[in-house]
Amino acid sequence: MIILIQPSSKSELVSYPIRDIVQEAMKLEKLGTKMIYLNIGDPAPFGFRPPQHVLDAASEALTQNYSGYAPSSGDPELRQTIADFEKVSPENVFVTSGLSEGIDFLFQAMVDPGRNIILPVPTYPLYLTKERINYGTVDFYDCDSNFEPDLESLRKNINKYTKAILVINPNNPTGAVYSRKTLQGILDIAGEHKLPIISDDVYDQMVFDGDITPMRTLCKDVPVVCGNSLSKNYIYPGARVGYLAFHGEWGTMPDVIQRLSNQRLSVNWEMQRAYIAAIKGNHDHIHKFNAELKLRRDVLVKRVNQIEGLSVAPPKGAFYSFIKVESNKWKNDVEFVKGLLKEGVVVVPGSGFAPTMKGNYFRLVFLPKPEQLESAFDKIEKFMKK
């Protein structure tokens, strides 16, 4: 017997452009096209591994008594370790299953239908999905040509339905690292409008050009919730551990997050123990990783500048670039990306990150070895010349 169940309206609002494109790529691969995957922000397939002491802490935890449910707000020692790092009290720290779950909690806790968290454009698509499935309105603030937030646009687009301002620094999908002046400007606007800030800091150690000023070091009067995880800074996305840390006066919001955490019982305890080792241990890996990223970024910028019809604002952090297609040979970004797929290069259409931005963009992950990037760009160049 087959039962046909109509999917919920909410489920139909979920999309994930970064993975959706893989289905198309796999079809072509089956037919014999050799693919270079530049679509997923995961260092593991490109040979990058978590620091050994973090892996050791995870295996040691497996031999100890961490097989039960952890406290729903997180392992007490991990909460304290994060609290020391963020300079907040441990009661204001909540461990989540990756920052993805933290983002989910924040939207559940703050966004009623018709309300919104104002997002930068371009943005990380999970925020768009969460806005939509909470039946929020989708409001954006623009960035300038270097992908630095445009403060005037932020001021203009805040409205009575805005509940918070999202900042992603370093940024996915652009690799931009914001100046201290811009961050201060965002804090000032938040203060004027009495709005809290959500600071997505998952790439905050991954800066290879200039410095970063973490939002946690600037916020004084404005409430800021900082989100981070083991995934990127410690190259361990499969561990699925992250956190939210509330800075400043948030009223009952931490209680609401505690309630939301209670319903899903716990985050994987062994991996929480690994996160303690990550924060407390040496950080040599990040210097090596950033040096590797800089090499790759340089290849990317050199090649984009050589190809007629493409341009890019050089990324300074993370491992993403948001490349503009200047040529109007293609109807839209999806047509461009599908064409490029046939050449064996998988990238993500820009509209998934930037539904309101004019022009055609695509996101390219520059994690592969320089020589693999070079060969991906040979294919892109050939495609552009066709």
Ligand X SMILES: Cc1ncc(COP(=O)(O)O)c(C=O)c1O
Nearest residue (CB) to ligand X, 99 versus 277: 99
Cβ-Cβ contacts under 8 Å for 106 (sequence gap 6 or more)? 117, 164, 198, 225, 227, 244, 257
Stretch that binds ligand X, among 31-39, 98-106, 340-348, 369-377 (CB under 6 A): 98-106
Nearest distance from residue 100's CB to ligand X, in Å? 3
Please identify which residue in the block is written with the tokens 């499969």: 238
Among 38, 99, 118, 313, binds ligand X (CB under 6 A): 99
Residue nearest to ligand X (CB): 98
Nearest distance from residue 146's CB to ligand X, in Å? 18
Question: Per-residue x/- marks for ligand X, 242-281, CB under 6 A?
Answer: x---------------------------------------
Under the binding rule (CB under 6 A), the answer on residue 41 touching ligand X is yes
Under the binding rule (CB under 6 A), the answer on residue 229 touching ligand X is yes
Among 94, 124, 140, 353, binds ligand X (CB under 6 A): 124
Q: How far apart are CA 270 and CA 260, in angstroms?
A: 21
Nearest distance from residue 9's CB to ligand X, in Å? 25
| Axis crossing angle, helix 333-342 with helix 370-385, rounded to the nearest 10 | 110
Nearest distance from residue 340's CB to ligand X, in Å? 22
Among 43, 74, 120, 237, binds ligand X (CB under 6 A): 237
For every residue of 43-82, DSSP letters joined together read: SGGGT----HHHHHHHHHHHHTT--SPPPTT--HHHHHHH
Stretch that binds ligand X, among 48-56, 182-190, 229-237, 278-286 (CB under 6 A): 229-237
Size of the residue set binding ligand X (CB under 6 A): 13
Cβ-Cβ contacts under 8 Å for 175 (sequence gap 6 or more)? 147, 297, 314, 315, 316, 317, 318, 319, 320, 321, 322
- The tally of CA atoms less than 13 A away on the side-chain side of residue 244 is 29
Stretch that binds ligand X, among 22-30, 97-105, 140-148, 308-316 (CB under 6 A): 97-105
- The tally of CA atoms less than 13 A away on the side-chain side of residue 267 is 31
Please identify which residue in the block is written with the tokens 């305890």: 269
Stretch that binds ligand X, among 7-15, 94-102, 174-182, 338-346 (CB under 6 A): 94-102
Nearest distance from residue 229's CB to ligand X, in Å? 3
Q: How far apart are CA 223 and CA 194, in angstroms?
A: 9
Nearest residue (CB) to ligand X, 100 versus 343: 100
Under the binding rule (CB under 6 A), the answer on residue 169 touching ligand X is no
Please identify which residue in the block is written with the tokens 């690994």: 274
Among 73, 100, 233, 351, binds ligand X (CB under 6 A): 100
CB 323 within 8 A of CB 312: yes
Cβ-Cβ contacts under 8 Å for 231 (sequence gap 6 or more)? 98, 99, 202, 237, 239, 240, 242
> Parallel, antiparallel, or unpaired for β 116-120 and 140-141?
parallel
Nearest distance from residue 367's CB to ligand X, in Å? 12
Nearest distance from residue 316's CB to ligand X, in Å? 15
Alpha carbon separation from 290 to 189, 309, 319 (Å, rounded): 32, 29, 9
Q: How far apart are CA 217 and CA 76, in angstroms?
A: 24
Rounded to 5 degrees, φ, ψ at 155 are -60, -40
Among 116, 231, 261, 266, binds ligand X (CB under 6 A): 231
Under the binding rule (CB under 6 A), the answer on residue 129 touching ligand X is no
Under the binding rule (CB under 6 A), the answer on residue 168 touching ligand X is yes
Under the binding rule (CB under 6 A), the answer on residue 98 touching ligand X is yes
Under the binding rule (CB under 6 A), the answer on residue 105 touching ligand X is no
Stretch that binds ligand X, among 92-100, 108-116, 304-312, 356-364 (CB under 6 A): 92-100
Residues that bind ligand X (CB under 6 A): 41, 98-100, 124, 168, 172, 200, 202, 229, 231, 237, 242
